Structure 1
């Protein structure tokens, strides 16, 4: 029940029948609770109208397995996904965050039962890379300290020894989406001068370069609408530099299990490219109903006849013309034809489209 309705109820005079409390016995809800024991609630982070049937169809296609998944709309932009096993549910959590039409899918795990009126979505899981940490300080403990500053610590990628030497520290954090994205943090280590560490987010969906909040772009920013003034792009406090590409090789499933505080990761925890590709073809295969125009390396284009006039297909790890990796490419097809100039280079189409990396996004009650 929302706040307005709850306030209204305070002024009602209830009849004797309405005052009475009806007790529901546990056996009366046993079957439904058993059927929905491995489930999540989820919503699309948007204030705009969207095609709910396409949304459900896409989620079903991406999340299905041999045991299947059932998705039901249970409220205004509120959906229930029921999985066949705890392992399947955990796999979807581990691969979050998910996105649809570049918008973040917010998810909530719940145990037991919950009233839909009391459901809130305030957190999402992300893999975050930390740059500019002094080399001898790159370890699990320092990563855990920084993660706790950003939100709820889930995982620090480190060796069994606790060391995490490399170009960056990689952490898994449940961040509060009601706050702007954290860009930097000043840290002071031993006798060194205090210095900034810099954060980059893997699989970052739409966010505002003006205010730093997830869920909208700068031209939709409420702060600009309230102020009724324009801000030059050069003055934006956020930008695409907050994005970082997910690792090509991926990580084993248990390497990103939520709530496994600062888990130790050994060399054997890294997937080979071939293993990751095999997994991606199962988990992230393209939705058959969506029209696709796929770029290939020669460069020529192969067109697949569309079944509808408009669709959005997401693909990460697209290669730019000079071979540098670009974070995310989004193709919007209004007609058949190449989405980029003929001299552009593209990923091998055998890789498929969709979520083929470890992603991030669930919140527990």
Structure 2
């Protein structure tokens, strides 16, 4: 049986040699795994009431009609992951909004590289505002920006 003093002496003699002190290098196709949400959007409906998830998935897939299909998964209560299989399908959805379901607005955001989809901030919605009866003298870009900032962020 080893003596505690013998173990302490042996442990004190342990060290890392120069060739063992190299950095860790990942092998394989790292970018593919790190960016697995590249063709995904995360979204939520702006409501606190319960939504028929099956009807929502069916209706969104029917309205968007992605050429290569879509996979919709509920990540959390009211938070959805939309996985596309073609870049143009995802871009069409992002440019075609704002989207709604059952008169409930939906916020959609892309997922950044390495970002957790449940942590994506879904707080803002890009919308167009139409103002009627604006006097001709106020129809300028600077006035438009001020009005946009009055309602939100231009």
Work out the CA distance in 2 between the residues paired with 1:27 and 1:37. Answer: 18
Work out the CA distance in 2 between the residues paired with 1:44 and 1:144. Answer: 28
Name the structure 2 match of 1:50: 51
Q: Which runs of 4+ in 1 moved over 6 A?
A: none
Higher relative contact order (CA 8 A, sep 6+): 2
**Mind listing any 5+ residue stretches in structure 2 that lack a counterpart?**
1-23
- Judged with a 3 Å threshold, the aligned counterparts in structure 2 of structure 1 residues 55 and 27 are, in CA distance, closer, same or farther, namely farther
TM norm structure 2: 0.69
More helix by share: 2
TM norm structure 1: 0.32
- Judged with a 3 Å threshold, the aligned counterparts in structure 2 of structure 1 residues 104 and 26 are, in CA distance, closer, same or farther, namely farther
Larger Rg: 2
**Mind listing any 5+ residue stretches in structure 1 that lack a counterpart?**
1-22, 154-365
Work out the CA distance in 2 between the residues paired with 1:62 and 1:90. Answer: 15
How far did residue 32 of structure 1 move?
A: 4.1
Contact kept in structure 1, 2:98 and 2:126, CA below 8 Å: yes
1:108 matched to 2:119? The reply is: no
Contact kept in structure 1, 2:43 and 2:107, CA below 8 Å: yes
Matches within 5 A, 1:73-112: 73-112=74-113
- Judged with a 3 Å threshold, the aligned counterparts in structure 2 of structure 1 residues 118 and 45 are, in CA distance, closer, same or farther, namely same
Contact kept in structure 1, 2:46 and 2:104, CA below 8 Å: yes
Query: C-alpha root-mean-square deviation of aligned residues, in Å?
Result: 2.6
Name the structure 2 match of 1:146: 147
- Judged with a 3 Å threshold, the aligned counterparts in structure 2 of structure 1 residues 61 and 78 are, in CA distance, closer, same or farther, namely same
Paired positions, count: 130
Work out the CA distance in 1 between the residues paired with 2:99 and 2:55. Answer: 15
1:66 matched to 2:72? The reply is: no
Matches within 5 A, 1:281-360: none
Contact kept in structure 2, 1:69 and 1:83, CA below 8 Å: yes
How far did residue 70 of structure 1 move?
A: 2.1
More strand by share: 1
- Judged with a 3 Å threshold, the aligned counterparts in structure 2 of structure 1 residues 85 and 117 are, in CA distance, closer, same or farther, namely closer
Work out the CA distance in 2 between the residues paired with 1:36 and 1:119. Answer: 12
Contact kept in structure 2, 1:63 and 1:69, CA below 8 Å: no
